[in-house]
Structure 1
Amino acid sequence: MYVFTILGLPECCILAAVAYDHYVAISHPLHYTAIMSGQVCRQLAATSWVISILVEAVQSTWIFSQSFCGSNRIHHFFCDIPPMVCTDMSKIKIVFLAMPVLFIMRPFLLIILSYIDKDFSTFSSHLMVVTLCYGMALISYVRPKSSYSPESDQMISLMYKVVMPVFNPIIYTLRNKEVKETFSKTIKKSIFSHS
C-alpha cells in the first residue's frame, strides 16, 4: 500500500512543476534556460519525491495503526485504504481531506495561477491531464459515504489506476503534428476501406 500511495502524490507535484515550466517558457522566454536549468529540474523532481516519501510514510504508519478487516482478502484490485480499514472512517476521512488540502491542492492552485492570462490552447494537453488526475482523485477519495460500495470502488479504482495512465500519453501525443497526420490517415483509410 505504501508503494501504491507513494506513486500518486509525486504526480500532483510534477504536474505543478510542468505548469511552472510552461509559465516560465511563456512569460520569460529569453531567461528560460537560466531559470529552468537542469539543476532546477532535478531539484523540482527530487522535492516532489522527498515530500511524497515523507508524507506517505507518516500516513501509512498512521493507517496501519488502525484496525483492519478480519480476513486477509479484500474485495478490491489493490491495497487501497478504504477497502482495508474496518474502523470508524471519520478519522481516516479527516486525513484524506487534510492531505489533499495540504499537499495536493497547493500544486493544483499553482497550476491554475500559472495559467491565468495565458492562451489555454497552448496548454490544453496539460490541462486535460490535470483535470483527469485531480478529478479522478476527488471521485476516488472525497465522496459521500452513501456512494461507497465495493463495486463502485473497484470501477473508480480501475478508471483511476488503469484508464487514466493510458490516456496520458494519448493526450500529450495528440499535440504532435506527425501523430495527428497519422491518426487522420488511419481514420480516412478505415472509412474508405469500408465504403
Structure 2
Amino acid sequence: MSAAKFIVIEGLEGAGKSSAVAVVKDWIERQGHDLVCTREPGGTPMAEALRDCVKGHWQETVTAEAELMIMYAARVQLLENVIKPALANGQWVLGDRHDLSSRAYQGGGRELPDAMLDSLRHISLKGFEPDLTLYLDIDPAIGLQRARQRGDLDRIEQQQIDFFNRTRARYLALAGQDDKIVTIDASQPMDEVHQAIRGVLETRYL
C-alpha cells in the first residue's frame, strides 16, 4: 500500500467543492484506502466552535487580523488532533479547504501582509503541507450566483465582488508557483469537472 496522502479541495463559493469532495472520496475508497474527511475551519469540537465565530454575523466589526488568527487556531487544532494522527495511522485524509484558503482569502481578499501570514504559517504548520491540492477555479460572479441559490450567505460570502476577485487572483498566483496545486476549470459542466479530477488522481496515484 502506498503511503497515506493528504488531499485538499479548494475554491471560491459556488465552485463545486462539495461535489468534488464526494468524487475524490469515492475514488480514494475505491482504491481500498481508509479515509478521514475534514473541513476548515472545523473538524474538531474546538475548531467547530471557532468556525461559528468566523462565519457568524456579529454586532461588531470582525477585524481582518482576528479573522486570520481564528482560522489558524482552528487549523492547528485540526492538524495536530486529526490530520497528523490519521496519516501516521496509514489513513488518507481529504480536506475541504486548508492553508491555501487563508493565503487566498485573508492574504488576497483582505490584503493582509505576507509577513503576517508567513509568521502564523510557521508557528502553526511548521512546514506541513498537503500532498495534493485541487483548486476549482471559477469567475466569482458565477460562483456567488450559485452560492445564493443555496440559501442565506454567511458573513464572508457577503463580501463585495472585489474581495472575491482579489481572492481568486491570489489563488491563481499561488497555484502557478506550486506543482502540488492543480487548477481545474470549475465553469465546465459538472461531469467534465469530475472527469478532470479523476484524471489528476489517476495520474498522481495509480
For normalisation by structure 2, the TM-score amounts to 0.31
Q: Which has the larger radius of gyration?
A: 1
Higher strand share: 2
Relative contact order, CA 8 A, sep 6+: which one is greater? 2
Higher helix share: 1
For normalisation by structure 1, the TM-score amounts to 0.32
